[in-house]
Amino acid sequence: MSVAYFNGKFVGSNDPVVPIDERGHQFGDGVYEVIRIYNNKPFMLEEHLDRLYMSAEAIALAFDQSRESFKEIIFQLIERSGLDNLDVYLQITRGLAPRNHLFPDAPVSISMTAKPFRSIPAEFRERGAKAILHPDERWMNCYIKSLNLLPNLLAKQEAHKAGCLEAILHRDGKLTEGTSSNVFVIKDSRIRTTPLSRHILAGITRMAVQRIAQAAAIPFEERHVAIEELYEADEVFITSTTSEVMPIVQVGEKLIGDGQPGQLTRLLQRHFQALTTAVTADA
Ligand SMILES: Cc1ncc(COP(=O)(O)O)c(C=O)c1O
């Protein structure tokens, strides 16, 4: 069952609990995380929390709750959901205060939801998905997992209108990332992805894929990828917590490789699945 939490109370996921004067609601003044729970155990929880605390600090959000007590709420929420496989959404905002751009002297608001896995049709994972290319119109601090997602939403909607799953964003002729994913190209059995910088989010799934590639001795290069390299790639895939490792078989009108998910992408999908199963297995 879907359940939620807001400022100290467990509530129904559709309960109207957030007052109008809430800064997440009015300004998108906050940060968030999406964590996947497999077999009742959060996957890479510490890495997600590291990023959440980093994002909060980057926007000067006074989120000083101890990690242990914060984790306790997450575990309680998971238990209350009664689900084994679910997505947990966490949001921290600058709190409740009459609308004013200046920071209020108010405690932060914490909200969470726990919902069954957001299902991406299995056929995408198996046969690959399509993407469009779109200019990256976002701000200069995309390493922060901020609630402000308007440019991402607009680009994703363009992708959807074109019958595609994702929009791959580019800045100065080079790829940055997807609207809600990191992007990888494979050429001559080498994986390439945009280096971490303030222009992209340091994806947790990206980190998992990097570890998998290193363990399997697959060359993994963090370097800028030009738009032409995307079109000429043997394989392309995207990663995110909810789409995991997703093959991209067409960008715009151009087929990638032979238009089928490539062998290395398949291998990474299998390794990723094995990793999530292994680290969340019952002790
Ligand atoms: C802009 C952006 N890049 C990358 C990602 C992938 O991050 P993760 O693998 O931590 O889910 C996301 C996830 O939502 C995202 O919004």
The pLDDT tens digits for 221-236 are 999 999 999 999 999 9
Per-residue pLDDT at 119: 77
Residue with CA at minimum distance from ligand 1 atom 3: 181
Per-residue pLDDT at 62: 94
DSSP state letters, 130-159: EEEEEE----S-TTS-BS--HHHHHHHHHH
Per-residue pLDDT at 118: 81
For residue 73, the SS3 value is helix
Across the chain, mean pLDDT equals 97
C-alpha dihedral sign at 117, 121, 124, 127: positive
Q: Do domains 3-116 and 122-279 have the same CATH topology?
A: no
Ligand 1 neighbours by CB, cut-off 6 Å: 34, 177, 180-182, 201, 203-206, 239-241
Does 256 have pLDDT greater than 80? yes
Per-residue pLDDT at 282: 86
**Residue boundaries of the structural domains of the chain:** 3-116, 122-279
The CA 98 to ligand 1 mean position distance, Å, reads 31
Helices (H), strands (E): how many in the chain? 8, 15
CATH ID of 122-279, from 2.102.10.10, 3.40.50.150, 3.20.190.10, 3.20.10.10: 3.20.10.10
The CA 276 to ligand 1 mean position distance, Å, reads 17
145 in catalytic set: yes
**pTM for this one?**
0.97
Per-residue pLDDT at 58: 98
At residue 213 the predicted structure's pLDDT band, cuts being 50, 70 and 90, is very high
> Quick check: 113 and 73 in contact, CB under 8 A?
no
The atom of ligand 1 lying closest to the CA of 182 is 4
Q: Which residues contact 240 (CB under 8 A, 6 or more apart)?
A: 178, 180, 181, 182, 203, 205, 246
Catalytic residue among 41, 115, 145, 156: 145
Does 217 have pLDDT greater than 80? yes
Q: What is the pLDDT of residues 112-164, one digit of tens each?
A: 999 999 878 889 999 999 999 999 999 999 999 999 999 999 999 999 999 99
The CA 183 to ligand 1 mean position distance, Å, reads 10
Residue with CA at minimum distance from ligand 1 atom 7: 203
Into which CATH architecture does domain 3-116 fall? 2-Layer Sandwich (3.30)
